[in-house]
Chains A and B, each alone.
Chain A
Amino acid sequence: AQSVSQHNHHVILSEAASLELGCNYSYGGTVNLFWYVQYPGQHLQLLLKYFSGDPLVKGIKGFEAEFIKSKFSFNLRKPSVQWSDTAEYFCAVNGNQGGKLIFGQGTELSVKP
């Protein structure tokens, strides 16, 4: 079955701490991987995406993610978080023909000033 699992439901960090959010997927065939962010009261925004090529992808606002095929993982990282990074983060996957996005259950990140 196709699924995405995010390891942490709620993460609390202090400003300037480093962040790593885990994401593992189960999906047959070629995958496209995404991280979306949803700030309080706002819509889903794309942080970064992986289609092919360099497995280390850089996104907006200093975020990056690494695709490790052997581990079926696509973890999100940021070296130093800010209070403004407080949001919910969703990992998602779809296949090479696009279509349906399968989302993980989300990780709520709270950054303390």
Chain B
Amino acid sequence: DAMVIQNPRYQVTQFGKPVTLSCSQTLNHNVMYWYQQKSSQAPKLLFHYYDKDFNNEADTPDNFQSRRPNTSFCFLDIRSPGLGDAAMYLCATSRTGTASYNEQFFGPGTRLTVL
């Protein structure tokens, strides 16, 4: 089945230690999104890639970076995680040029714990 895959599902890191979260998709979608969902809060968009074009949200901290080496993969890098970065990180995809472009498909998320 076509899907959005996130690895790892659970990640524990230490305060200040860089961490990378991974997202891959078999849907052949050209748009990929990263959302942050803190406990008991709504998901909040950090940034997205429209093909190779990176689009950062204005309030996303510089501590968060992203890479998209190819259509299928997208990475979220947190350069120096703080305690406040503990959250669920959700990857989503969509595809332009289709009737359902406006719909996003979500992965299972990676739960990040910062010690």
A residues engaging B (CB < 8 A)?
4, 32, 34, 36, 42-46, 49, 51, 90, 94, 96, 98-101, 103-106
Contact = CB atoms under 8 A, between A and B. Distances in A.
Interface stretch (B37-45, B64-72, B73-81): B37-45
B43 A90 contact: yes
B107 interface: yes
Interface string B46-87: 001000000001000000000000000000000000000000
B94 A103 contact: no
A101 B34 CA distance: 11
A101 B102 CA distance: 9
A83 to B, nearest CB: 22
A80 B81 CA distance: 44
Interface residues of B, number: 25
Contact of B102 (A94, A103, A105): A94
Interface of B: 31, 33, 35, 40-45, 48, 57, 90, 92, 94, 96, 99, 101-109
B90 A43 contact: yes
Given A98-B94, A100-B48, A43 B43 contact: no
B42 A103 contact: yes
A51 B99 CA distance: 9
Chain B binding surface SS class? loop
A43 B109 contact: yes
Contacts of A4: 42
A106 B88 CA distance: 15
A32 B102 contact: yes
Nearest to B50: A99
Contacts of A106: 40-42
Contacts of A49: 102-103
Contacts of A44: 43, 90, 106, 109
Contacts of A42: 108
A104 B99 CA distance: 24
Nearest to A46: B103
Contacts of B99: 51
